[in-house]
Structure 1
Amino acid sequence: MVAGVIAAVFLAGATTFIGLLAGPVGLVLGALVGLPLGAAFGWAIGSTRAYDLRTPRGLLAYVVDFTWSLPNTIAGAMFLAINLARGNKVEPTYTEGKRCVHLGKGTFPGYLTTIGPVIAGVSENVHAHEHGHILQARIFGPLYLPAVAANWVIATVLPFWLLYHDHARYPIKNVRAYFLDGVYPHNWNEAWCYRRYGPQR
């Protein structure tokens, strides 16, 4: 529970400080945003013991998530708060000791979504893949989300991936296929996780 309380206070403080950089109005907005985000994330990790601070891996992940990878954690806390507001529920079985928060329902039909240390959706054969994204966020820290976004833009506007795409298995016949079978799996972070953790594409 201590981990949850510290996380809640830290997230609320971090967003308030970021708001302060924009002036008095930013300070108020930062606090208004940070308090519910901190409360939601702190409750989620505290009530499920997501981070086991008695273990080196749990302690390291906790420290990294609230320092180097803080932008990803804030984004994940926003994602979590939105999901909870829409009725999604935390899955304790997949969260306890896993150094992340795992939600029961996905955001997009047929897909799991990971933002920071928060995963939405349950599918055993995809869990390793999603945990790979959490590791990427911890490795690249504040560079991670901008690098992913930049790759999406480049891969959309300049589809370099058409040169090596498997056109036989995944023909690009419409806009949906262009994004779901083309841009998405050829993004660097997705290609990495499919290759390293699966599932087979």
Structure 2
Amino acid sequence: MAVLRTLGTIVVAAATTWFTMWALGLALPFLAEPAVLLVVLVVVAVQALIAGILASYDLGRVGHWLILVVDHTWSLLNTVFGGIVGNLIYPFVGRPSRADSAGRTWIVYMPRSTSGFGTDVLQTVGIVNLGGAGQHERMHLLQSRAFGPTYLPLFAVFYVVTALLAILFAPLGALLKAAHRRDTWYLRPPAKSAVQGFFGWIYYATPFELWAYASGNP
């Protein structure tokens, strides 16, 4: 059963990825180049193998079949990004967790340490998570599936906007701090933000993060 589930996950992921790349290649021919297609298919197949072993998708449920297809069509960009970044970086700080992945439609790496990246700061890229399930991280998973190919570009735009606002505020913040009207020269995020310091507000004030924090705990 486990072997069939894993094979089924790989076949569906690879087939829908190939179809998506072929369709996109009609408008953007470079995506249909054999080298590009091969790299994407290898990334997807390896990630599907991991997902199959961890039983991330319950192929006995119609909803999970649909999510698997969405992850490799509409949300393919996010899935490939997570497959490259998450599955290359997270193994250095965590271990794949079947208990936290099975039937949850994502791949979870649980941190090896009791503090730091993966414990104090959780992260989700595509369908790959570091640190385990919480409503906040599950919301990022939902966001990536809902916004599909626009999710990562929008996140980048949001970061540029909040960074510019933080930089523009800095001179005024320095004056206010000098006048003892503020205790920091930079915009400071609330205590619940996983990231503090100058970059903390830039990270926290993005719409996707505000939405995720409003949805529940990390």
TM-score (norm 1): 0.76
| CA-CA distance at 1:49 after TM superposition | 1.4
Task: Tell me whether 1:116 sits opposite 2:126 in the alignment.
Answer: yes
Residues 90 and 130, structure 2, Cα contact 8 Å, conserved in 1: no
Answer yes or no: is 1:183 the counterpart of 2:202. Answer: yes
Q: 1:10 to 1:73 in 2, by over 3 A?
A: same
- What letter corresponds to residue 120 of structure 1 in structure 2? L
Matched with 2:148 is 141
> Which amino acid counterpart does residue 151 of structure 1 have in structure 2?
F
Q: Secondary structure at the match of 2:129?
A: strand
Structure 1 spans left out of the alignment, 5+ residues: 163-170
Tell me what 2:61 maps to.
55
Alignment of 1:1-201 (within 5 A): 1=6, 2-8=8-14, 10-11=16-17, 21-22=29-30, 27-31=34-38, 33-83=39-89, 86=92, 88-105=94-111, 108=117, 110-122=120-132, 127-159=134-166, 172-173=184-185, 177-180=197-200, 182-199=201-218
Deviates more, 1:142-151 or 1:59-68: 59-68
Asked if 1 retains the 8 angstrom alpha-carbon contact of 2:140 and 2:208, the reply is yes
| Structure 2 gaps, min length 5 | 1-5, 170-182, 188-195
Aligned residue type for 1:195: A
Contact 2:16-2:69 within 8 A present in 1 as well: no
User: Structure 1's 13 and 41: CA in aligned 2 closer, same or farther, altered over 3 A?
Assistant: farther
Question: Percent identity over the alignment?
Answer: 28
- Cα pair 2:107 2:129 within 8 Å, conserved: yes
Q: Following TM superposition, by how much is the alpha carbon of 1:34 offset from its aligned partner in structure 2, in angstroms? A: 2.7
Give the superposed CA RMSD.
Answer: 3.4
Higher Cα radius of gyration: 2
SS at match of 2:117: coil
> Once the 2 structures are TM-superposed, how far is the Cα of residue 108 of structure 1 from its aligned partner?
3.2
The Cα offsets for residues 144-171 of structure 1, whole Å up to 9 and x where unpaired, read as: 11111100011001239x7xxxxxxxx6
